Structure 1
Amino acid sequence: MILRLGTRKSKLALTQSNWVKQEIEKRFPDVQVELVKVTTKGDKILDVPLAKVGGKGLFVKEIEEALLDGRIDFAVHSLKDVPTELPQGLEVSVFPEREDPRDALIARDGKGLMELPPGAKVGTSSLRRMAQLRAVRPDLVIESLRGNLDTRLNKLDEGHFDAIILAAAGLKRMGLSGRITEIISPEVLLPAIGQGALGIEFRSEDHETRRILSSLSHEETTIRVRAERAFLARLEGGCQVPIGAYATIEGNELTLEGLIGDEDGKKILRMKKMGSVDDPEFIGDELGKEMLDAGGKEILEAVYEGK
């Protein structure tokens, strides 16, 4: 049996997809997984900040079209790129074990975030990171940095930036842990929703593919990302607005922390909600409602108006 796996062409996307391919073929010797590379809108537009490109699903839409018309059987995404609203007939419900969800600082001189000199230039493509960085280090110069992992690291090495911030998960998956100067605590930079997790998307009616993919599912990761994505769904946000959420589990208790901010870092709203691991969507949805009522709605409206 051959399964066609849709993936972006970046080194990180291919590394993630090849890992899934190997895991499936290891578990099901009669299954052969073929990689099908797809170029997305987000991959084509590299000279504009993501927030200015607009729309949700910049890195998944073309892959979903390939799923819907049968060119591929399933897709592997970085979950933080996947909107909560999916095309009819598709689902993202298999989540392998999560890699490190935190952000990582890579600095040319080896200094940590709080040690960078005033006026140091820091690059990131994320409004969520920009907002939180400006809140804790308003003296830094935060600039947009697009491109794949290699491109961003090269721009740092060439001296365009004093430091850059990337997801720790991508660096670790690419064998680049040695480049990390500092792993930043979620207390300082609350991670993106689903950061560090993979989301596997497939056609809901394709029961055989579902059966095979389900073998990769990781229970704790699934509970955590379900809570985070329910929070995102309540906020109706995409990955191009300054919001974040991070779920942790201790025993049977799930704690979800959410963040809504403005790009300048002048307004940052952070709240927590706890509850049973048995109902992650309820916790995410309730936290979203409470934060919108506590001033988050006004912050988000101002962010959308400014685009």
Structure 2
Amino acid sequence: MTAAIRLGTRRSALATAQSQQVADALAAVAGRPVELVPITSEGDVSRASLSELGGRGVFATRLREALLAGECDLLVHSLKDLPTAPAPGLVIAATPAREDARDVVLTRDGTPLHLLRSGTVVGTGSPRRIAQLATRNPRARTQDLRGNIDSRMKRVRDGELDAVILAAAGLARLGGHPTDLVGEPLGLSEWPTAPGQGALAVETREDADDGLREAIARLDDLPTRVAVTAERAVLAGLDAGCHAPVGVHAQWRDGILRVRAVVYSPDGSQRLGADRSLVLRGGYAGEPGSGDGADAAGDADPIARAWRTGDDIAHELLDRGAAEVAP
């Protein structure tokens, strides 16, 4: 009997759902069964806010320890939860096709976010969303929010909250937003989301056997990988000298890579944005209108070019004062 591939996953409904989707896809291409191995992380048991727990990486640390210890063969992460620095001994072997990257506001009556009345309570624990809400509707106030998606929506149904802001991808992976609440998707041009939002990362050990690595690689979606690489490069470049909330969204379509990044002050009173578009097609890159010439550095790898583009944007924002946006 063929041994099952062991996929480590957090125990939450969302983590289990997205892990099962990857497990099913991997089983189909590998010709082997894939079983889920539940793992509990600190972020799952602590009720502290994400900022108090340390933000990115709080959900990944325990899972990565399990992978390195041989308790499982691969992991599925929400890419937005992963630190941008590589994890020694591990590799992101695939980024499957991305779900909707937008945020969604859920309310009982469908009132748009910008029209919510003074004193309205909106649930979110994200510093980025708090800053963006203050920009979009300074009359509303936020309440820190933890817990799974169902518990968050219940607080809106029960009237404890007037609205909640959630990732559209999470709702989609759990079957879509409920019929008793009204969803308002927030456009990415004015409300860019967390780098990597909507995307998954399939991670394994660097020394994993070639058969497993090759099977995982068949799940990779190049347009998704290019886009999220640019987004994470912006975040990595800003992390060195800027602690303000940041929203980034990139898209690679029809040979054009477009990236938008915005740095916000925590109270939403200031924001600093940058946009970049470039031709990135068939191993060639250049500014739109300049023709398809080889990149000046001779770099024909779209992943490497996407990273350099995001890094350039981060340095531009820092040069323009991004580090001073946060008090």
Shorter-normalised TM range = over 0.9
- When residues 183 and 72 of structure 1 are mapped into structure 2, their CA distance, relative to the original with a 3 A threshold, is same
How far does the alpha carbon of each residue in 1:225-263 deviate from its partner, in whole angstroms, 9 at most, with x for none? 1111111111227xx961121002242221111121122
The amino acid of 2:204's aligned partner reads: F
The CA distance in 2 between the partners of 1:3 and 1:93, in whole Å, is 15
The CA distance in 2 between the partners of 1:56 and 1:112, in whole Å, is 29
Aligned residue in 2 for 1:190? 192
| Residue 55 of structure 1, CA deviation | 5.4
How far does the alpha carbon of each residue in 1:18-77 deviate from its partner, in whole angstroms, 9 at most, with x for none? 101111112232x1111111111111212x221122254101000000011111110001
Aligned residue in 2 for 1:38? 39
Say whether 1:283 aligns with 2:284. no
**Percent identical:** 38
The amino acid of 1:183's aligned partner reads: P
Which residue, 231, 235, 256 being the options, matches 2:234?
A: 231
How far does the alpha carbon of each residue in 1:81-109 deviate from its partner, in whole angstroms, 9 at most, with x for none? 01111321111241000000000010022
Q: Is the 8 A contact 1:96 1:221 kept in 2?
A: yes
Say whether 1:169 aligns with 2:169. yes
The amino acid of 2:206's aligned partner reads: S
SS in 1 for 2:134: helix
Q: TM-score when scaled to structure 2?
A: 0.87
The CA distance in 2 between the partners of 1:50 and 1:249, in whole Å, is 30
Aligned residue in 2 for 1:18? 20
| Residue 273 of structure 1, CA deviation | 1.6
How far does the alpha carbon of each residue in 1:89-131 deviate from its partner, in whole angstroms, 9 at most, with x for none? 1112410000000000100222121232222110112111110
Aligned residue in 2 for 1:258? 261
Say whether 1:272 aligns with 2:275. yes
Aligned residue in 2 for 1:129? 129
Aligned residue in 2 for 1:295? 321
CA RMSD of aligned residues (A): 1.6
Q: Is the 8 A contact 1:132 1:268 kept in 2?
A: no
The CA distance in 1 between the partners of 2:182 and 2:33, in whole Å, is 35
Q: TM-score when scaled to structure 1?
A: 0.92
Q: Is the 8 A contact 2:115 2:137 kept in 1?
A: no
Say whether 1:214 aligns with 2:210. no
Aligned residue in 2 for 1:305? none
The CA distance in 2 between the partners of 1:234 and 1:180, in whole Å, is 37
Greater share of helix: 1
The CA distance in 1 between the partners of 2:131 and 2:278, in whole Å, is 28
The CA distance in 1 between the partners of 2:17 and 2:182, in whole Å, is 19
Aligned residue in 2 for 1:156? 156
The CA distance in 2 between the partners of 1:93 and 1:212, in whole Å, is 10
- Give ranges in structure 1 of 5+ residues lacking alignment: 303-307
The CA distance in 2 between the partners of 1:205 and 1:76, in whole Å, is 18
The CA distance in 2 between the partners of 1:93 and 1:258, in whole Å, is 26
- When residues 37 and 180 of structure 1 are mapped into structure 2, their CA distance, relative to the original with a 3 A threshold, is farther
The CA distance in 1 between the partners of 2:118 and 2:133, in whole Å, is 13
- When residues 55 and 126 of structure 1 are mapped into structure 2, their CA distance, relative to the original with a 3 A threshold, is closer
| Residue 180 of structure 1, CA deviation | 4.5
The CA distance in 1 between the partners of 2:101 and 2:182, in whole Å, is 14
Aligned residue in 1 for 2:30? 28
- Give ranges in structure 2 of 5+ residues lacking alignment: 281-301
The amino acid of 1:174's aligned partner reads: L
The CA distance in 2 between the partners of 1:59 and 1:220, in whole Å, is 26
Q: How many aligned positions are there?
A: 297
The CA distance in 2 between the partners of 1:259 and 1:208, in whole Å, is 41
Q: Is the 8 A contact 1:261 1:299 kept in 2?
A: yes
Aligned residue in 1 for 2:94? 94
Aligned residue in 1 for 2:119? 119
The CA distance in 2 between the partners of 1:86 and 1:65, in whole Å, is 14
Greater relative CO (CA pairs within 8 A, separation 6+) = 1
